[in-house]
Amino acid sequence: MIISERNFRIVVFLTMLPVVLWPVMITHVDHFDTALERFVLLMMPVFAVGCGFLARRVYRERPEVAWMLVGIVWLSYVSFTCLVYM
């Protein structure tokens, strides 16, 4: 699906909004004991912002890759939410 670059910026912005709520989600975590689990949880916002930045940069030449990056970010949001709350 190819949309205008301006509309894709809005999609990327909406994809980055859950990063704002990430500190709230981290306060609910008390069962992660290993350093690796904590590292992965703390690096999730960096991963999401990095994917959003890369998706925005490559959209003009490779829109399919940009959409895949946005999809990966949303799938990782869902997986981390399940990991934290279940």
Interval 47-86: pLDDT, tens: 999 999 999 999 999 999 999 999 999 999 998 888 777 7
Give Cα separations from 34 to 22, 31, 41, 62, 65 (angstroms).
Answer: 19, 9, 11, 38, 33
Mean pLDDT of the chain: 87
Q: Is residue 27 situated within a structural domain?
A: no
Q: Is residue 54 situated within a structural domain?
A: yes
Range of the domain at 74: 40-86
Q: Which runs of consecutive H residues, i.e. helices, occur in the chain?
A: 5-16, 22-27, 35-58, 63-85
Tokens 């997986």 belong to 79
Number of domains making up the chain: 1
Whether the per-residue pLDDT at 29 is higher than 90: the answer is: no
Q: Tell me how far apart the alpha carbons of residues 78 and 35 are, in angstroms, rounded to a whole number.
A: 22
pLDDT of residue 71: 96
The tokens describing 43, both together, are 């690096």
DSSP letter at 21 equals G
Whole-structure pTM value? 0.84
Q: Is residue 69 situated within a structural domain?
A: yes
pLDDT of residue 46: 93
Report whether 29 contacts 41 (CB < 8 A). yes
